[in-house]
Structure 1
């Protein structure tokens, strides 16, 4: 699942729980995937696999569609008279 940074900060406990129960959670900044949160158990499993950490992590990461749709809504009209 993808989380915008501000949402992840506000709902950190949910992000942590999701990483433990659903797998890797992607955190985006300005619509671009920047970091991933994984459970400690997933990290340990990857290290036991004996591969270099970066390669192990990348190969085991679920393939996700990182395309994010932004709202085209421009807000409300304001009468400044």
Structure 2
């Protein structure tokens, strides 16, 4: 992420916006301290887009409807092939 001083960012705002589009987020500092980040609309939408919950994620799985073998042996030991 490139960093810009606030005065430089004000003076070269159009360049700052173009770089945010082409290079990604651009940091802005005041007196050497980071205070803001300029991002493109696409990046902002990606960051703020709500992620699906667990149930929605599972319902969207390509494995919906696949029958799984869920039977387990009821004994205390299992035979293992070595």
TM-score scaled by length of structure 2: 0.58
TM-score scaled by length of structure 1: 0.58
Matched ranges for 1:62-81 at <5 A: none
Unaligned 5+ segments in structure 2 are: 53-82
Matched ranges for 1:12-31 at <5 A: 12-31=13-32
Match of 1:67 in 2: none
SS of residue paired to 2:51: coil
Match of 1:73 in 2: none
Larger radius of gyration: 2
Deviation at 1:49, TM superposition (A): 5.4
Structure with the bigger percentage of helix: 1
Matched ranges for 1:1-80 at <5 A: 1-48=2-49, 50=51
Q: Distance in 1 between matches of 2:51 and 2:8?
A: 34
Q: Distance in 2 between matches of 1:47 and 1:35?
A: 17
The 4+ residue runs of structure 1 with deviation greater than 3 A are: none
- Give the RMSD, CA atoms, in angstroms: 1.5
Match of 1:72 in 2: none
